[in-house]
Structure 1
Amino acid sequence: MPQEHTGQLTPGDHKIAIAVGRFNEFITEHLLTACLDTWQQLGGKDENVTVARVPGSFELPVTSLKLAESGDYAAVVCLGCVIRGDTDHYDHVVEQTAKGIKDVGVNTGVPTIFGVLTCDTLEQAIHRAGAKMGNAGRSAMMTAVEMANLMQKL
């Protein structure tokens, strides 16, 4: 039987950082609220969470890199919202943001969670921020806690 490792949904003494974009703030604030509520529901201590606010999703990778490199956090959650417009700007922002956030986790070994909504319409964003389809902020925090525990075990 192979040895198997899984992360638990218990915050313990882990510290988590959340980087959240202000662009589309009416959506990202719902993501942040759900993220923080989930942390508390799991039993996390308020003093073990740091929130860094950035202008938009494009700034999430550099901010999460700084947080991850500090050595203070077991995981970094990135929250943002990019809604498709009439130009190809959306594609560039989404691609570079996703790649940047992925690179932070791979290069630092600190789980860096992609909680950025990438939606075609405002209605889709509203649904993914809690109106119909759960809340991506909640999922991101659950992933962060699970990964922080898994990394500790490995």
Structure 2
Amino acid sequence: MIYEGDFSSPPGRFVLVAARFNAFIVDQLLAGAQDALRRHGVPDDRVDVVRVPGAYEIPLVAQRLGKSGKFAAVICLGCVIRGDTDHYDYVAGAATNGIASAALNCGVPVIFGVLTTDTLDQAINRAGAKAGNKGHEAAVTAIEMVNLLAKLPEGSR
């Protein structure tokens, strides 16, 4: 048997956890994710948005929302741009590891839509310019994963 998700409109609510830090980038990711959900048949009244201070704070909120039983998927959106100090490494690593941990601990898809870029230009390109919109891609991934988990045998969850 081969199991694969699809892009049909899944049941349930979705939540977007979006950082306020680097809002000029994250707001574009958020708009892209909302557009993708709409285009795949998820109406706005089944989508919640939770704003957190920055990418570092995303994992805790994502895990709490994922464990709440109220959401089919949690989509995490943020942007960390490398600077002149080690701060980037700590924040990007904590966000990455924390979101992965939340995904494994809560039983619903927790999707990584956090940009980790070396430059502002790279972030702009990934938030809707040359490289597409990674928020849109994260929402499509969430839809596919919700549909995949619905097809898997119960013992696999």
The TM-score by the shorter chain falls in which range?
over 0.9
Question: In percent, how many aligned pairs have the same letter?
Answer: 49
The answer on whether the counterparts of 1:83 and 1:122 sit within 8 Å (CA) in structure 2 is yes
How far has the Cα of 1:134 moved from its partner? 0.6
CA distance in 1, matches of 2:43, 2:8: 11
Q: 1:149 aligns with which of 137, 143, 147?
A: 147
Q: Helix, strand or coil: the match of 1:99?
A: helix
Is there any run of 5+ residues in structure 2 with no aligned partner, and where?
Answer: 153-157
Once the two structures are superposed, the pairs formed by residues 82-93 of structure 1 within 5 Å of their partners are 82-93=80-91
**Aligned Cα root-mean-square deviation (Å):** 0.7
How far has the Cα of 1:117 moved from its partner? 0.3
Corresponding residue of 1:14: 12
CA distance in 2, matches of 1:118, 1:41: 26
How far has the Cα of 1:14 moved from its partner? 2.4
Corresponding residue of 1:113: 111
The answer on whether the counterparts of 2:66 and 2:108 sit within 8 Å (CA) in structure 1 is yes
Q: 1:50 aligns with which of 39, 45, 48?
A: 48
What is the TM-score of this pair, normalised by structure 2?
A: 0.95
Corresponding residue of 1:33: 31
What is the TM-score of this pair, normalised by structure 1?
A: 0.96
The answer on whether the counterparts of 2:63 and 2:105 sit within 8 Å (CA) in structure 1 is no
The answer on whether the counterparts of 1:14 and 1:148 sit within 8 Å (CA) in structure 2 is no
Corresponding residue of 2:78: 80
How far has the Cα of 1:90 moved from its partner? 0.2
CA distance in 2, matches of 1:11, 1:96: 32
Corresponding residue of 1:69: 67
How far has the Cα of 1:80 moved from its partner? 0.1
Corresponding residue of 2:123: 125
Q: Helix, strand or coil: the match of 2:140?
A: helix
The answer on whether the counterparts of 2:10 and 2:143 sit within 8 Å (CA) in structure 1 is no
How far has the Cα of 1:11 moved from its partner? 2.2
How far has the Cα of 1:12 moved from its partner? 3.0
The answer on whether the counterparts of 1:67 and 1:73 sit within 8 Å (CA) in structure 2 is yes
Corresponding residue of 2:132: 134
The answer on whether the counterparts of 1:21 and 1:56 sit within 8 Å (CA) in structure 2 is yes
CA distance in 2, matches of 1:55, 1:104: 18
CA distance in 1, matches of 2:8, 2:19: 26
Is there any run of 5+ residues in structure 1 with no aligned partner, and where?
Answer: none
